[in-house]
Amino acid sequence: MTQTRSTPQSDDPARVAAFEARIAAGESIEPKDWMPDKYRRQLIRMMSQHAHSEIVGMLPEGNWITRAPSLRRKIALIAKVQDEAGHGLYIYCGTETLGVDRGELIQQLLDGTAKYSSIFNYPTLSWADIGVIGWFVDGAAIVNQTILAKASYGPYARAMVRVCKEENFHKRQGYEIVATLANGTPAQKAMVQDAVNRWWWPSLMMFGPSDTDSPNTAELIRWKVKRKTNDELRQRFVNLTVPQAAAVQLTLPDPSLAYDATSENWHFGPIDWDEFTQVIRGNGPCNRERLEARRKAHDDGAWVREAAAVHAAKQRAASAAA
């Protein structure tokens, strides 16, 4: 369990009431402000998992950098994967403002005790997957993160502003790949339709369990960390994506999809929550492979961390002697 700086008098009713009043007034909570322990713990949980997701999310796409079909596609994919690393480091920084140590969080990921987004436990079987990931996964991230940019915790909300700007490039480059393949040879069209079929339902699962099954959403909404519920965000993603699929003549793998003119929503079929549960329990197609890759990268990078620590110690000694 992450050791965090505990908040004095965290159960002090007067302090909690004052905190709740600040949230209700739409104020931004900053690192040095008093906050209930549970608010701090919720943010550490959510932000650390977000950061882990960004780092693990580099793996499925990185797998295709050496096989990109052109220099232009390769450059865009390298830039995207590099962005994801930056998002992870950025959000780890935000998490550390809550009094936790990044090393501890990363160790939890390596130990397999920390969650990261289920979506990154699926394999990237063809180049079309890279396009569909940009379109669906980064598209879903944009839906989620543009709302998180209004979160009550200042450092998280501000981090999302920069992250979302880069996600928009990620989605556009993905959708361009998809449109190119969808308008290409029959084999290319079949390849991208196959990728759509494989990534659609796992992308809907990214938004978490339904609101009735989410143990965290009600509290996070009350504290204005989440400004929309899982189901509201999922519905917004579906509403945005259905017309985009039609625009490139691709079929989403849901025969139940139907437009409701009254609510202006696209109704969609049932999600396989058993699959979701299995994936977040570590039994997805690539969970083991992803953690092995992260552990190897961490071990291979030990010398960099040691060198940086020696350099930092020398810098401190030099400034102390000056």
49 touches ligand 3HC by CB under 6 A? yes
In the block, tokens 């039994």 appear at 283
Of the candidates 7, 48, 126, 144, which one interacts with ligand 3HC according to CB under 6 A?
144
Q: How far is the CB of 238 from ligand 3HC (least distance, A)?
A: 15
114 binds ligand 3HC (CB under 6 A): no
Question: Does residue 41 touch ligand 3HC according to CB under 6 A?
Answer: no
Side-chain-facing half-sphere of 32: CA atoms under 13 Å: 0
| 102 within 8 A of 39, measured Cβ to Cβ | no
Q: Does 220 help bind ligand 3HC (rule: CB under 6 A)?
A: yes
Contacts of residues 304-313 at CB distance under 8 Å and 24 or more positions apart, as own/partner, are none
Question: Is 286 in contact with 292 (CB distance < 8 Å)?
Answer: no
The least distance separating ligand 3HC from the CB of residue 128, rounded to whole angstroms, comes to: 17
Site for ligand 3HC contains 274 (CB under 6 A): no
Among 36, 57, 60, 94, binds ligand 3HC (CB under 6 A): 57
DSSP helix/strand/coil, 174? helix
Residue 46 CB, shortest distance to ligand 3HC, in Å, is 5
Least Å from the CB of residue 62 to ligand 3HC: 13
* Distance (Å, whole) CA 97 – CA 100: 7
User: Where does this chain bind ligand 3HC (CB under 6 A)?
Assistant: 45-46, 49-50, 53-54, 57, 84, 87, 115, 117-118, 137-138, 141, 144, 167, 205-209, 214-217, 220, 230, 280
